[in-house]
Amino acid sequence: MKRYTLLLIPDTEEGGYTVRVPALPGCITEGDTLEEAIANAREAIAGWIESAEKHGEPVPEETAPPQVITIDVAA
């Protein structure tokens, strides 16, 4: 079992979420609901790992989850 952090980005114009997996370059999916986005992320991660293994490429381990902060900027 591997553990990966998901970055869930709300789509404020069309609804739903875009999901990125920072530890797996190019692993991106989406879903209309939070639950669907997470389920799709599980499938995308499994597919990413399967493809990497098939091509003899290393599968990154997430050793430390990314940090997300919010800052205020004068504009």
The residue with tokens 């990497």 is: 52
Q: Class of the 1-75 domain?
A: alpha beta
Secondary-structure breakdown of the chain: helix, strand, coil percentages, each rounded to the nearest 5 = 30, 15, 55
pLDDT tens string, the chain, 75 residues long: the values are: 899 999 999 999 999 999 999 999 999 999 999 999 999 999 999 999 999 999 999 999 998 888 989 999 998
Question: Which two tokens mark 28?
Answer: 């991106």
pTM of the predicted structure, to 2 decimals: 0.88
Contacts for 5 with CB less than 8 Å, ≥ 6 apart: 21, 22, 23, 62, 65, 66
Every domain of the chain and the residues it spans: 1-75
